Structure 1
């Protein structure tokens, strides 16, 4: 039977061995489309770069819209919600198929219908108030798992950051994105650490995607050993942080 001292030595050896796979460094860059520059030499973005990543938002079921018809008090600041089929009902305009359309497209439909209803030159504004249909699920080893709205362009790094980042137990080289395309289910494995280092491009994620950040059992095992062995040495803690 092992003494406590012998058990402690074996336990630390197992912990260090389990962590050895996480050690090592990776060169920055590698993706053919990514240019690595020195520290403060990144060029500033242009106006096109800043606004060019926006993706038109498509309204879906149970989304909330705020519709305003300028100068018509009874049609101003009205909050409407799409039903399960993605339709809305608006006074004088009737039922509008909103699902799959952008707020700007809904705006045009309402303006045309109100003009037919004898409202002279209606100035209609449609804004997205709240979205529940266009969301991405972020789960696994992130600080705040949940459903997050996809408004504009969303990437894998942004999705994880939206969930307040990865936890200390996250396995950054094992991040899975699940997606369904025309009934076919897909799963893709990504290395978030490599993406952060520019080894390859940050992939885009879309509404209805599920992002799962894997768990590093070696890190959790090491933390468990720390909790039961108070005399752990500093170098092992440094190895965990690296």
Structure 2
């Protein structure tokens, strides 16, 4: 039976929640980001990026050099399992490691066996495995590799799609273009309907899917035991 004592408060609370459920806009007065209707591509070349903390991924192209041993120089591509094949050393697990960490592993394999004190450097020639961060109202937030051309829909699909409290009209892409941090607001609903183009995302982009306040409220409400509701006294 419908709980009459709960009906009035619930209706009032839903109405209040609905007031907060509209599509927000990015504030143009923000000093943190430059708001754009359409984001330009990052336009950063590989040799201009700081890869000191970059985590190597599949299909990345690496250059390995050993000081004093030019014959051991190797350019290679990380395979799907994250391995890099090198002479004398064999397969080295590079996936998930920084260039410095991989250099340390290679040096450890060479030390004593072939070279007394190897000085190894690992440089990124081509970073294919750059990641996009997908956060907010998605089923599996996290960092996902950008291999080839990836669109906004594909990035969200990588995170197992928008969840049931998502506001599909409030999807923001944050991107650094040169020295500027930029952002643009997109409607995934309009993109899915084919009314607007599906924008490309790039490595180091951050995609945030907003929440629908009413859906969030109702979801939270459904998780509260019925006995815990206190009737409003008018």
TM-score (norm 1): 0.52
**d(CA) in 2 for partners of 1:86, 1:75:** 12
Say whether the 8 Å CA contact 1:12–1:225 is kept in structure 2.
no
Give CA-to-partner distance per residue, 1:187-208, whole Å, 9 cap, x none. 1000001100101111000011
Aligned counterpart, 1:102: 126
**d(CA) in 2 for partners of 1:98, 1:194:** 42
Give runs of aligned pairs for residues 113-132 of structure 1, distance below 5 A.
Answer: 131=129
Where structure 1 has 5 or more consecutive residues not aligned to the other structure, the ranges are: 23-57, 104-127, 231-242
Aligned counterpart, 1:8: 7
Instruction: Compute the displacement of 1:76 (Å).
Output: 3.9
Where structure 2 has 5 or more consecutive residues not aligned to the other structure, the ranges are: 22-45, 58-77, 227-234
**d(CA) in 2 for partners of 1:75, 1:87:** 12
State the secondary structure of the residue aligned to 1:221. helix
Say whether the 8 Å CA contact 2:18–2:213 is kept in structure 1.
no
**d(CA) in 2 for partners of 1:156, 1:202:** 6
Give CA-to-partner distance per residue, 1:158-183, whole Å, 9 cap, x none. 11110011111000000000001111
Matched, 1:213 2:209: yes
Matched, 1:136 2:136: no
2:171 to 175, 192, 206: 175
Say whether the 8 Å CA contact 1:86–1:98 is kept in structure 2.
no
State the secondary structure of the residue aligned to 1:201. coil
Give runs of aligned pairs for residues 12-91 of structure 1, distance below 5 A.
Answer: 12=11, 15=14, 60=51, 61-63=54-56, 65=78, 66-68=83-85, 74=88, 76-80=90-94, 82-84=98-100
CA gap 1:67/1:175 in 2 versus in 1, 3 angstroms: same
Say whether the 8 Å CA contact 2:135–2:209 is kept in structure 1.
yes
The structure richer in helix per residue is 1
Say whether the 8 Å CA contact 2:99–2:123 is kept in structure 1.
no
Aligned counterpart, 2:73: none
Say whether the 8 Å CA contact 1:62–1:84 is kept in structure 2.
no
Instruction: Compute the displacement of 1:229 (Å).
Output: 10
Instruction: Compute the displacement of 1:8 (Å).
Output: 1.3
CA gap 1:155/1:84 in 2 versus in 1, 3 angstroms: farther
Count residues with an aligned counterpart: 161
State the secondary structure of the residue aligned to 2:99. coil
Say whether the 8 Å CA contact 1:142–1:166 is kept in structure 2.
yes
TM-score (norm 2): 0.54
